[in-house]
């Protein structure tokens, strides 16, 4: 007898069939792609730039091969491209064509092209050979993936021995008062902002819900260890609203 529950997952607070989630997530990002960058700046009051800066500062060097997974509009790719230089390479991979197109146009306008490749790919089944990348980043992407364990295992496979994974993601605030303020902001202010700026309250309601459903710091750390990552650590940013997880493949 099959277990019906094993075929279900979360889309924000909704329970949906596993095979429905990817297309529902795709709809969200097709819908927000054009306004994605301005919404990020408005919603986080620019702080997402500091979280990304902190991620970038975690070890890329000239000549490195970097995978910016779920790279969307390419904020991390642009920075990595400069750091790895002409002898390195950055692959911006994302499942969503609309996000990739916005990313490609933006990077072209910024003059970032030479060492960047764009690939449409699902994090769960990365189309790269084993042991390819020195660094993999996934920023604000993992919580949208249907099978996170499968995606983490796929990242582990394509990372070189000695390479590192950096997961930048919303997480769990460490203080009760901050959780309360943050809840109010997420569920009252964000959807209204989404409505006003992007004419899309629903996508920003999903954003708030998907953040609450995402594994907390220690759970994600254990998930990384379960697929083989070693020396796993995390660093809370902005009181744990966001955390940067790090893990190595040896």
Read off φ and ψ for residue 127, nearest 5 degrees: -85, 50
Give the nearer residue to ligand SAM in terms of CB position, either 123 or 224: 123
CB 209 within 8 A of CB 25: no
**Nearest-CB residue to ligand SAM?**
72
Min dist CB 198 to ligand SAM, Å, is: 13
Give the nearer residue to ligand SAM in terms of CB position, either 25 or 112: 25
C-alpha 129/C-alpha 208 separation (Å) is 35
Rule CB under 6 A: which residues touch ligand SAM? 25, 29, 70-73, 75, 94-96, 99, 122-124, 139-141, 144-145
Min dist CB 1 to ligand SAM, Å, is: 30
Give the nearer residue to ligand SAM in terms of CB position, either 162 or 189: 189
Give the nearer residue to ligand SAM in terms of CB position, either 29 or 133: 29
Among 162, 116, 135, 155, which residue's Cα sits nearest to residue 57?
Answer: 135
CB 84 within 8 A of CB 59: no
Give the nearer residue to ligand SAM in terms of CB position, either 149 or 230: 149
- The phi-psi region of residue 151 (left if phi > 0; otherwise alpha if psi is between -120 and 50; otherwise beta) is alpha
C-alpha 139/C-alpha 142 separation (Å) is 7
Min dist CB 176 to ligand SAM, Å, is: 27
Min dist CB 226 to ligand SAM, Å, is: 19
Min dist CB 67 to ligand SAM, Å, is: 11
Strand partners for 93: 69, 119
């Amino acid at each position: 007898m099959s277990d019906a529950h094993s075929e279900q997952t979360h889309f924000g607070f909704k329970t949906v069939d596993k095979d429905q989630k990817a297309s529902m997530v795709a709809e969200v990002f097709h819908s927000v792609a054009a306004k994605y960058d301005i919404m990020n700046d408005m919603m986080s009051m620019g702080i997402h730039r500091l979280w990304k800066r902190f991620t970038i500062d975690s070890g890329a060097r000239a000549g490195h091969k970097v995978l910016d997974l779920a790279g969307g509009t390419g904020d991390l790719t642009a920075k990595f491209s400069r750091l790895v230089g002409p002898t390195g390479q950055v692959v911006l991979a994302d499942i969503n064509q609309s996000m990739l197109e916005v990313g490609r146009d933006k990077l072209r306008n910024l003059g970032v092209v030479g060492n960047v490749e764009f690939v449409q790919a699902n994090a769960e089944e990365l189309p790269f050979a084993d042991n390819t990348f020195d660094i993999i980043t996934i920023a604000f992407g993992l919580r949208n993936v249907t099978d996170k364990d499968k995606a983490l295992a796929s990242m582990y496979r394509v990372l070189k021995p000695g390479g590192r994974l950096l997961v930048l993601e919303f997480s769990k605030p460490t203080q009760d008062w901050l959780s309360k303020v943050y809840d109010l902001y997420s569920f009252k202010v964000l959807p209204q902002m989404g409505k006003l700026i992007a004419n899309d309250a629903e996508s920003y309601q999903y954003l708030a819900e998907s953040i609450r459903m995402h594994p907390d710091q220690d759970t994600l750390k254990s998930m990384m260890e379960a697929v083989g990552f070693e020396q796993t650590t995390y660093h809370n940013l902005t009181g744990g609203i966001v955390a940067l997880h790090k893990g190595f493949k040896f």
